[in-house]
Structure 1
Amino acid sequence: MSQTDYKEIEQLLASAEEEKLVKGLKLIKQEIARVGSSEARPLFEMLYSLFYIDPLEYPELVPVLEEAITLTVGFGSWVIPVLLDKLDSGDIKAQMAIAQALGRIGADAVDPLVNEYHIRDDTSKRIFILYALGKIKSPKIVKAVDAALDSCSASDMELRDTATRAIGKFIESIPPEDLPANTKLRIIKSLKANLACENPGVRAKAIRSLCKLAKYGHLNAEEKKEVHTICQRLLGTDEHFDWDRAFVVRKEAQEGLKYL
């Protein structure tokens, strides 16, 4: 493909018309197949421009954004550090798309994301890193537990909320035999502490993640009984009749009872 052809793709992807964007993506897909993903860095830069699409303002372009993310994921491991560098873009729409792409890359992204978490002390970047880690479906995600636990007690409520949710997502992918006993106890302690958080969203995610420990086989009989008691307390069905005032918390507790 000539420079003229690349220019055509750039012009197509600069359009706000869905038809032209789809055509541009089709040409990129064909070119990736021709040159190979390892030689496709210029094509990634073109795709990245679509990460700025606002799915709320332009819902009709969501399929375009999804295809751009899918093609980016197909580049493989070389694109991981490039995406991490792009997190500094400062645009929340692009950061969200980056996080989705990193999450969909999967296990290969775990170590780079965890390393990036420890390097960064910027709250907003850590939020997107934990969000991306929560998208990864691999037993290797056990390596990210310490990072999430680190932020489960953060003073920033959005970071704490994201970390508490991430713990539950990690649990879905970690076999019980791969979760060290002391790590499990730290998770339980952290989630129980967040049940006292003033933010109802954090409390809801804390009880959801606790119940996921039961759902995915991480709790013994005594631990299940303890979580069952917690759910009853949140629902106000124990002897104290002092339920959690937030409906979203009670909803998660009610849902979690089926696993206890």
Structure 2
Amino acid sequence: MPEHPYQQIENLLSSADAEKIHQGLELVRKEIARIGSKEARPLFEMVATLFHFDMLDRPDLVPVLNEAVSLVVGFGDWVIPELLRELDDGDLKAQLTIGHALGRIGADAIQPLIAEYHATDNPARRVFILYALGKIKSPRVEQAIPLALEALNSPDLELRDTATRAVGKFAECIPSFSDAVRTEILEKLRRNLSDSSPVIRAKAVRSLGKLAKFGHLTSEERHSLKTILERLMGIDEHYEWDYAYIVRREAEEAYQYVQ
């Protein structure tokens, strides 16, 4: 008796062999073309199991994971709430991949992500929502700025860390900020330059550098940032550099944008 197509797909996707997984994804693609993406929920559930791969343990599976993400993104808007539900799984590897997939979906995911952020008070869940928003390359991500501004002050280290990174990512694709928003971003990023976590300090420097790189700063703000960066690198008259190498490295990178 011939194997049911979905059983064949499931068997291939559950393999540890990259080529067999690729074959399974090819069958998924053909089946979607046959039935339409809106009827493909069972296929999504099978493909989503690949999000749990450990890429550090199995770097050979990176291409098929990327292929799986592309397939999921192509399912359409109905997959957004499904991906948000998958965030509850608690598997960090899967959560990062889901965040990447939501980011790849783009502007259509912004409002669902914002709504989900407001619907939860779980800092871990909010971290991955902000992470996903930071992956979206659309000016419409400006709608998420209030979330990031609030999270920049969070007592939760991971949420504060993700927000510090996110505002820099937003600066890459938002044409301009209002004076009030820009001032608040600068104030909070500067405050995070004194964070006890060197990783957060480094990300604050990186985001400040992106504000300069993408033309969001006035000449006075650029000069002020230059002074801050010189202090962090220890090249001003005080020689009081940041003790963390990652902070000094980010300062050196950002310095080129304030010359």
TM-score normalised per structure 2: 0.96
Deviations 1:58-101 (A, max 9, x none): 11111111111110001121110111111111111211111110
RMSD of the TM alignment (CA)?
1.3
Separation of aligned partners in 1, 2:220 and 2:56: 45
* Alpha-carbon separation, structure 2, partners of 1:149 and 1:5: 48
**Which residue number corresponds to residue 77 of structure 2?**
77
**Equivalent residue number for residue 26 of structure 1:** 26
Equivalent pairs: percent with the same residue? Answer: 55
Match of 1:137 in 2: 137
Give the letter aligned to residue 256 of structure 2.
K
- Distance in 1 separating the partners of 2:38 and 2:28: 14
The match for 1:191 among 189, 197, 201 is 189
Counterparts of 1:241 and 1:54 in 2: how far apart (Å)? Answer: 43
Q: Cα–Cα, structure 1 residues 37 and 3, in superposed 2: closer, same or farther, change >3 Å?
A: farther
Report the AA paired with residue 245 of structure 2.
F
* Matched residue, 1:60: 60
Q: Could you list the per-position Cα deviations for residues 155-190 of structure 1 after superposition, in whole angstroms to 9, with x for gaps in the alignment?
A: 2222211110111011001002xx221111110011
Give the deviation of 1:140 after TM superposition.
0.6
Correspondence for 1:230? 228
The Cα offsets for residues 85-137 of structure 1, whole Å up to 9 and x where unpaired, read as: 11111111211111110010001111111111111111111111111111100
Structure 2 residue matching 1:259: 3-state secondary structure: coil
Which moves more between the two structures, 201-210 or 151-160? Answer: 151-160
Indicate yes or no: 2:87 matched with 1:87: yes
Alignment deviations for residues 189-210 of structure 1 (CA, whole Å, 9 cap, x no partner): 1100000101111011111111
Between the two proteins, the alignment pairs up a number of residues equal to 257
Deviation at 1:3, TM superposition (A): 8.3
Shift of 1:211: 1.5
Aligned counterparts of 2:241 and 2:102: Cα–Cα separation in 1: 39
Distance 1:168 1:180 in 2: 16
For 1:239, the equivalent position in structure 2 comes to 237
Unaligned runs of 5+ in 1: none
Find 1:219's aligned residue among 217, 220, 223: 217
Could you list the runs of 5+ residues in structure 2 that have no partner in the other structure? Answer: none
Give, in whole Å, the separation in 2 of the partners of 1:3 and 1:132: 38
**Whole-angstrom CA distance in 2 between matches of 1:191 and 1:39:** 45
Q: How do 1:94-113 residues align onto structure 2 when only pairs under 5 Å count?
A: 94-113=94-113
TM-score normalised to the size of structure 1?
Answer: 0.95
Runs (4+) of structure 1 exceeding 4 A deviation are none
What is the match of residue 178 of structure 2? Answer: 180
| Counterpart AA for 1:82 | E
How far, CA to CA, are the matches of 2:80 and 2:243 in structure 1?
Answer: 43
C-alpha displacement of 1:19: 2.2
- Secondary structure of the 1:7 match is helix
Separation (CA, whole Å) in 1 of partners of 2:207 and 2:93: 27
Q: Go from structure 1 to structure 2 and tell me whether the alpha carbon gap of 1:56 and 1:120 turns closer, same or farther (over 3 Å shift).
A: same
